[in-house]
């Protein structure tokens, strides 16, 4: 490959990566946020599936703002602490869905 072709390919790689990351599904964004907040990969994946099935996009965005790590210690977050944090959003539907998903994913 010529050097100019390699440069052109490298120049396209970053925008392509940015475009692909912006196409992330709500489920993957919620899962990533839950993992960053301290939940295990399996628990976060299970809860993300349930939450995205039960909640609206607006509610999922509210969860994402909470699980971006602000005020949550990822080294000490338990599932019950995560549900408690989600309850601070003041949305009973989010709380019901989070509690139900935490219970169903734990068994």
- Cα 83 to Cα 9, 29, 42, 47, 98, distances in angstroms: 45, 17, 16, 11, 6
In whole angstroms, what separates CA 88 from the centre of its chain?
A: 17
What pTM value is reported for the model? 0.69
Torsion of CA 74, 75, 81, 82, to 10 degrees: 30
> What is the share, in percent, of the chain residues with pLDDT greater than 70?
69
Of 39, 30, 29, 50, nearest to 98 by C-alpha is: 50
Quick: pLDDT tens for 8-21.
544 555 454 444 44
């Amino acid at each position: 490959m010529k050097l100019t072709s390699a440069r052109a390919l490298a120049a396209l790689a970053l925008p392509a990566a940015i475009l692909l990351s912006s196409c992330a599904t709500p489920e993957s964004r919620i899962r990533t946020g839950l993992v960053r907040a301290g939940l295990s990969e399996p628990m976060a994946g299970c809860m993300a599936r349930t939450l995205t099935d039960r909640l609206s996009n607006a509610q999922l965005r509210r969860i994402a703002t909470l699980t971006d790590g602000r005020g949550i210690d990822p080294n000490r977050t338990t599932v019950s602490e995560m549900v408690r944090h989600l309850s601070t959003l003041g949305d009973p539907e989010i709380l019901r869905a989070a509690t139900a998903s935490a219970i169903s994913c734990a068994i």
